[in-house]
Structure 1
Amino acid sequence: MLRLHLTTDDLAQIRVATAPDPMWEILLSLHLLRSRAAPVAFGAWRRAMRGRLAGAERARIEPLVPLAPPVGYSPDFLTPSPGAAGTAEGIERVLATPRRHLRADLTRLASQRRLPGWTGALADGDPATLRRLGTAIAAYHQVAVAPHWQQIHARFDADRALRGRMLLDGGVDRLLNGLNPAIRWRPPVLEMRHYRADRDVVLDGRPLLLVPSFFCWQHPISLYDWDRPPTLVYPVNHDVSWFASAARGDPERRLSTLLGPSRAAVLDAIAAGCTTTELARRVGISRAGASQHATALRDAGLVVTARLGKAVQHTLTPLGAALLDGPAATSHSGRKAGCFQRDVKGVARFRATGGG
């Protein structure tokens, strides 16, 4: 069991990551790919990825494979400090790992399993070997993670919004106790069961970062070396049919038919709540375009906008949420069915603004 001893100052500095961490998603997805865990949620994805990562693609990612065993320790340097702007920056941080960390991490891994000979050069910080590893990480990400980034980001945003509501409604106690069944907050100690060692950690004023992860399964995970930036990664709530739905594209197709592709994407992006700048980034449009679409959706009664300092925060109205869920989801109760019937008026107002 891991026990984090948190002072009042430590609690005040706890943060939830502002975006999914691509390096953690790469590592944890590779763990799942090489295991039989979560057959319902990730079985279809795993079968598809194993097919795509055969032959030449397998050779490209080979330098990464022995560093990410399906169980047990994986080197901390594969998941450098969170906050990288994207995968490319994350890989650059991996390649810039100090030699002492490379050697310490690989020595720890070698104590648990046999490693190929080339990892000796990696431990020495050999530039060519590091570049091969960087190429392998990028290749794996392109095939196994990048195609699903929209779903990953949507689940991340939903979880982050949930944590915000927990904090507002129940304070730090509810936030920490609601992270995962394996995590228990017994002030002043945050306990994490199913940890690979029995350890007590004192943060000494260093901020703890909570990272919701799409490919984290069941139990939270952290870096082994707590002298590095304190990070606790925990699983988001999963939709077990996510891969099949993504393959069919059903939700997006339904909304695109009704609203038009651009504003359907905007409505979906607003589901977890966002500012205009965040909306523009998520959908890949200009800030002015995001503002225009949000205004049209607000005029249709699908979105509500509130000022948040110098920015504005967009969230769905019950009408917008019902429309996003679709008629099948809204037919299970009279209240929701009534909301969906009122969608007709909302869509009429929407089309009057030029939607679709």
Structure 2
Amino acid sequence: MSGVLRIHFQDRDFRHVQLARSADPMWEAILGLHVLTTPPARLPEQLRPWRRRARERLRDGELRAACRLLGDLAPADAAYFPDFLTPAESELGMSAALSTLRATPAVRLARELREAARYRQLPPWTRQLAAGDRTLLGRVADAVRHFHERLIVPDWSEVEATIAADRAWRLEALEDGMEAVLATLSPFVWRDPVLTAPYPVDYDLHLRGRGVRLIPSFFCHTRPMAIADPSLPPVVVCPVRSHPPEPGAATRPPAALAPLLGAGRARVLAALTATFTTGSLAARLGMPAPTVSGHLKVLRGAGLVRSERAGAHVLHRLTGRGRHLLGN
């Protein structure tokens, strides 16, 4: 990547920073397509099992056709793909996003496809789409829906749980102010008043008091992505926080804890370096989820762990007593 994304903040922008409450289905679909077409060696370890399962499902001809059509519009190596593919209404769910996509005005289709053509040669069929062909636009929406239903939905609970844990971790940083939250947005670097990250092109996003909606993404793995049209509400998508695999220094309990709590319980306690769901904690430790759940119940009863429901998921974190016991 030869460029830099620079997001310019003013004082009033800090009052309008939003952190997405849940996974965004449209962004996850488009970025899932990018994972699907990226060689496994270039992917983080946690995305390779999903890619393997998804590739096995591509025996379906209709699904392969959907991937080809979407790949024409939003290839993984694109410096830009049309913003109409990721409408803001996606935060309300896939149905709302697809309705908005189908209703995209012809003038916007033409403008954004012209912009895409500045960076790469588009296939001939996109000229018809740029002319406002509603049937073709419907095919694009159907392709997104088909890709989402067949390849993303089967793993949606893992996606949601990962996003929920990531959001809780970032909100913990809010205790030290919004700048501390911005500092969690790897690979971004915060140097007041500009947030910067590697990008395919040089791009300056001036918030001008509008704030920005931050969307952590399960499938975003190489670089952040931003809505390109400066007239649209600012949106930045960034990778979820990656957790080091167990075993590791950060998740090894002090030697004295194993005799006190039991080896398994001590490992669970030490692994709570941030906020986790039961499933994500089990994956991190390589332990069965029911076993982790049992350990968490005992640790919660001892006042070492706090568990709180967030939508469909339960999030676990250390209490002050738990941190003290670990020497944190």
Pick aligned residue for 1:91 from 98, 104, 107 = 98
Task: Kindly indicate whether residue 225 of structure 2 is the aligned counterpart of residue 190 of structure 1.
Answer: no
Structure 1 unaligned spans of 5+? 264-269, 284-313, 323-334, 337-356
The letter for the 2-side match of 1:186 is R
Aligned to 1:116, the other structure's residue is in SS state coil
Pick aligned residue for 2:221 from 217, 224, 227 = 217
Task: Kindly indicate whether residue 280 of structure 2 is the aligned counterpart of residue 274 of structure 1.
Answer: no
Contact 2:165 2:315 in 1 (8 A): no
The corresponding residue for 1:30 is 33
The letter for the 2-side match of 1:210 is L
TM-score, normalised to structure 2, is 0.73
| CA deviation map 1:176-198 (0-9, x unaligned) | 11211x3122222222x212222
Rounded to whole Å, the distance in 2 between the matches of 1:5 and 1:60 is 37
Residue 88 of structure 1: CA displacement?
Answer: 1.5
Contact 1:157 1:272 in 2 (8 A): no
The corresponding residue for 2:133 is 126
Residue 106 of structure 1: CA displacement?
Answer: 1.3
Provide runs of 4+ in structure 1 moved above 6 Å: 240-243
Q: Measured at CA, do residues 135 and 76 of structure 1 come closer, stay the same or move farther in structure 2, by a change above 3 Å? A: same
Residue 253 of structure 1: CA displacement?
Answer: 5.4
| CA deviation map 1:211-240 (0-9, x unaligned) | 111001032111222221101111112468
Task: Kindly indicate whether residue 5 of structure 2 is the aligned counterpart of residue 9 of structure 1.
Answer: no
Rounded to whole Å, the distance in 1 between the matches of 2:290 and 2:120 is 47
Residue 200 of structure 1: CA displacement?
Answer: 2.7
Q: Measured at CA, do residues 272 and 131 of structure 1 come closer, stay the same or move farther in structure 2, by a change above 3 Å? A: farther
Matches within 5 A, 1:98-177: 98-168=105-175, 170-177=176-183
Q: Measured at CA, do residues 60 and 173 of structure 1 come closer, stay the same or move farther in structure 2, by a change above 3 Å? A: closer
The corresponding residue for 1:81 is 88
Residue 83 of structure 1: CA displacement?
Answer: 5.1
Q: Which has the higher contact order (CA 8 A, sep 6+)?
A: 2
The letter for the 2-side match of 1:140 is F
Rounded to whole Å, the distance in 2 between the matches of 1:45 and 1:185 is 32
Task: Kindly indicate whether residue 206 of structure 2 is the aligned counterpart of residue 199 of structure 1.
Answer: no
Contact 1:75 1:105 in 2 (8 A): yes
Aligned to 2:88, the other structure's residue is in SS state coil
Residue 51 of structure 1: CA displacement?
Answer: 1.9
Contact 1:156 1:236 in 2 (8 A): yes
Aligned to 2:177, the other structure's residue is in SS state helix
Q: Measured at CA, do residues 317 and 8 of structure 1 come closer, stay the same or move farther in structure 2, by a change above 3 Å? A: closer
The letter for the 1-side match of 2:35 is L
Residue 93 of structure 1: CA displacement?
Answer: 1.4
Rounded to whole Å, the distance in 2 between the matches of 1:43 and 1:316 is 26
How many matched pairs? 271
Rounded to whole Å, the distance in 2 between the matches of 1:118 and 1:107 is 13
The corresponding residue for 1:179 is 185
Residue 65 of structure 1: CA displacement?
Answer: 2.2
| CA deviation map 1:287-322 (0-9, x unaligned) | xxxxxxxxxxxxxxxxxxxxxxxxxxx864759xx9
Q: Measured at CA, do residues 317 and 33 of structure 1 come closer, stay the same or move farther in structure 2, by a change above 3 Å? A: closer
The letter for the 1-side match of 2:212 is L
Residue 107 of structure 1: CA displacement?
Answer: 1.6
